[in-house]
Amino acid sequence: MSPTCPPITRDGVTPEQKAQVIAEFTETFERVLSKSPDLTYIVIEEADTDSWGYAGITTTEYRKSQA
């Protein structure tokens, strides 16, 4: 099984930020668990803001209410 970072929303996250998350997760697994980077696979799970919510509303609705 591949390590999966917590889901993130599709908008507002750049490819560069995703690359940084992958690099830093890999470095952490190597440093803490002595896991070889060659054997480390990181999966970034993305969710649309209409498919991700909390407190009974979607993230889209929440962001609109905070604008």
- Residues 14-61 have pLDDT tens digits of 999 999 999 999 999 999 999 999 999 888 888 888 988 888 999 999
Task: Please state the pTM of the whole predicted model.
Answer: 0.72
Give the C-alpha separation, 56 to 45, whole Å. 21
Identify the pLDDT of residue 2: 56
List of residues 6+ apart from 61 with CB closer than 8 A: 53
Spell out the domains of the chain, with CATH numbers in brackets. 8-66 (3.30.429.10)
Query: Is pLDDT of 1 > 60?
Result: no
